[in-house]
Structure 1
Amino acid sequence: MAFLALFTKSFFLSAMLFVATFIYYLGFYVCKKHQNIQLSSAIVLYSLYLLMFFLVFTGGVANTGPLWIYIVAPVSLSIHGFRRGLIDIAVFTTLIILIMFIPSNIAYHAIYPIEFKLRLIYSFLTVSFLTTLYEYTRDHALKKTLELKHKYQKLANFDPLTNLSNRRVAYDILKQEQSHLSRNKEKLSILICDVDEFKRVNDQYGHNAGDAVLIELAKLFNEQIREQDCVARWGGEEFLFILPQTSAKNAAIIAEKIRSKVENHVINYQEHNIQITISMGIAQFEMDAGIDEVINHADKCLYKAKDLGRNRIQASNEN
């Protein structure tokens, strides 16, 4: 269009279109080269506004310049989103009205029939309204989609009752920690914890009370572990603790602190005060040991702790 204006000897219009083309390319360059999308968007959008003001003010070719303003609404909403885009459109519309209705004796500009000006403004507002409605619907649908995505991601990664990591995530963490173990020669231990006589809690107080116990335990466990540690719901009333940079000896100290805390903790459920105990099995990763093998060692220690009377910890290197 700039070349077309040049061939028709509309030199000023041609120059402005060439300038606009350069500015748009500058916006593309900023986005491509510097990855600055915000600056790039501002360059494109506000240069577009200036071009539209110029076309309305001068009339463009045969006073058809104002017909280009219809692209403003979708571009504004696309770049700035619903709320800010709506403000931009309102400001743009106000300035267009001022330009078109300013008396020519104050500032000389293209003259349009009153019918054309009114219909242009009405049609522009109609297009802007429909575009805004579409953008609102799209934005609302996008937010709902993101909420559902976050919800399903949470369901995939976290236990819905305790909000702890689930078994799958815990296994993935163990794989990561095991790779660190092989590279950095660090120690890694796990604890498998089981609630003693949990069936009695369900039978005596009901399954809702059992759920309340598990929720309370999850909170207590999170309070007792270190920042680098992880606790996950392993299944039923079993929990798995992953303790990076921790030997079996130090893991036993942590386990005893947790066991003691649980033993002295009273869980209030409705009108009942529920006291429980836990048993824990400890196993340390060795360089050539697989994850399932170490978990199996910890499981055996857990059952040994239960056989020895419950409410105790048992490490794999203990008799």
Structure 2
Amino acid sequence: MSPRRDDPLETMSKRQKQAPQGVAAKVQEEEHRRRTRFLLLFSASTSLILFGIGIKVLLNDMVGYGLALVGAGTVTVFALVQYHLLKQRMLFENITIFAMSVLVLMLVSTGGEDGTAALWSYIYPLLVTYVAGLRKGVLYCSLMYFAVLAIMLKPEIFGLLSPYSSDFKLRYLLSYLFTTLFSFVIESSRQASANELLRLGKEMETASRLDVLTGLANRRHMQSLLDEAEYDFGRSRTDYAVLMVDIDHFKRVNDRFGHSAGDAALQSVSAVFEHGLRQTDTASRWGGEEFLVLLRGASASDAPQIAERIRKATELLAIPCLADLAADKAEGRADVSTLHLTVSVGVALRKHAESLADTLLKADNCLYEAKRSGRNQVCPASPY
């Protein structure tokens, strides 16, 4: 029986989807922190500007306009205090965007001093698309534009007197539309670049974790998993076992059938691990034709049974390949042949009086004992 050998790149892709999204989480968290820092700086500076202009306007007897500015500044300060006390980032963003939305509508409605207040609205699409993201930004900015359009073209509907000339309205609406669309383009481009960097980061993280040929965990990643298992063992006495698995007579496979057949053999044994282990187990390519399997939560009876299951499944493999020895070719024996494999397995359970290094050494010694005893067998360490 020969299980279907997955393409190693396809296998890596599957494992990438299953792997913890460490890079993605870190990048997203850093993006959130960057947005929050920007919003904190913006809110602090904006509140000072709003209070300053608001007091100036109040002194000029423009009570409604001045109170609107001071009120917006007060809401901004409230948002800052709320974030400082509660650390609720989403609430902070929503309060700030809401305050900005109300402020822009009031500025456009009243016109402010000499009808210049509407010019502050150009900040809105740039701020909102960056803070809220592209999807929410498009929604908020679209609603804002239609609201501004209605105020500019039909102020009487809202009981307002338009302080703007027809030429100003036309130029303002077109320029504000351009600024809004340009904000969408900038944020879309920024997010596309961020997503591409995130994708590359995930690929690099996957490459650092997995063996390219087999799609299994590489030695470096397995070492980190062993360290985690050791930490869990020391903290909560969670048992674990290790299997040291070696393909028997692997050099003969390379010599007789070529390195491509050797690669196929490694991939086939890797497929056995993929289908024969529990979800909590992890197999790795430890080096050459040697594999290390971590069995989390395995008992003294579980580990040898899993090892025997792997040995039997490997024994059933039948891999079609071409003989590659010069002698075979000279004698006309270069036809398709079937490669059969066996493995030897050393089994060791982590004991309380041992270290991780002791457990690995014990599994390695058991592996060599299995080799010396005739190969194609499982050799468990004492007390199995």
Tell me the TM-score normalised to structure 2 length.
0.75
State how 1:112-127 maps to structure 2 within 5 Å.
112-127=164-179
Of 224, 230, 233, the residue aligned with 2:276 is 224
RMSD: 2.7
> Aligned pair 1:290/2:342, yes or no?
no
> Post-superposition shift, 1:53?
1.2
Of 147, 150, 165, the residue aligned with 1:98 is 150
Q: Which residue of 2 aligns with 1:155?
A: 207
Work out the CA distance in 1 between the residues paired with 2:109 and 2:236. Answer: 70
Q: Which residue of 1 aligns with 2:307?
A: 255
Unmatched runs of 5 consecutive residues or more in structure 2: 1-52, 323-335
Deviations 1:260-292 (A, max 9, x none): 122123446797654321111122333343333
Asked if 2 retains the 8 angstrom alpha-carbon contact of 1:248 and 1:282, the reply is no
| More displaced stretch, 174-183 vs 78-87 | 174-183
> Post-superposition shift, 1:66?
0.7
Higher RCO, 1 vs 2 (CA within 8 Å, ≥6 residues apart): 2
Of 295, 301, 308, the residue aligned with 2:366 is 301
Of 114, 119, 126, the residue aligned with 1:74 is 126
> Aligned pair 1:58/2:110, yes or no?
yes
| More displaced stretch, 230-239 vs 241-250 | 241-250
Identity %: 29
Asked if 2 retains the 8 angstrom alpha-carbon contact of 1:158 and 1:165, the reply is yes
Of 33, 58, 78, the residue aligned with 1:26 is 78
Asked if 2 retains the 8 angstrom alpha-carbon contact of 1:63 and 1:110, the reply is no
3-state SS of paired residue (2:291):
strand
- 1:275–1:55: structure 2 CA closer, same or farther, 3 Å change rule? same
Work out the CA distance in 2 between the residues paired with 1:32 and 1:214. Answer: 56
Asked if 1 retains the 8 angstrom alpha-carbon contact of 2:281 and 2:294, the reply is yes
Q: Which residue of 2 aligns with 1:233?
A: 285
> Post-superposition shift, 1:107?
3.0
Tell me the TM-score normalised to structure 1 length.
0.88
Aligned length: 319
Work out the CA distance in 2 between the residues paired with 1:35 and 1:212. Answer: 54
> Post-superposition shift, 1:256?
0.9
- 1:83–1:106: structure 2 CA closer, same or farther, 3 Å change rule? closer
> Post-superposition shift, 1:44?
1.5
> Post-superposition shift, 1:294?
2.6
> Post-superposition shift, 1:70?
0.6
> Post-superposition shift, 1:56?
1.0
> Post-superposition shift, 1:250?
3.6
Q: Which amino acid aligns with 2:273?
A: F
- 1:292–1:60: structure 2 CA closer, same or farther, 3 Å change rule? same
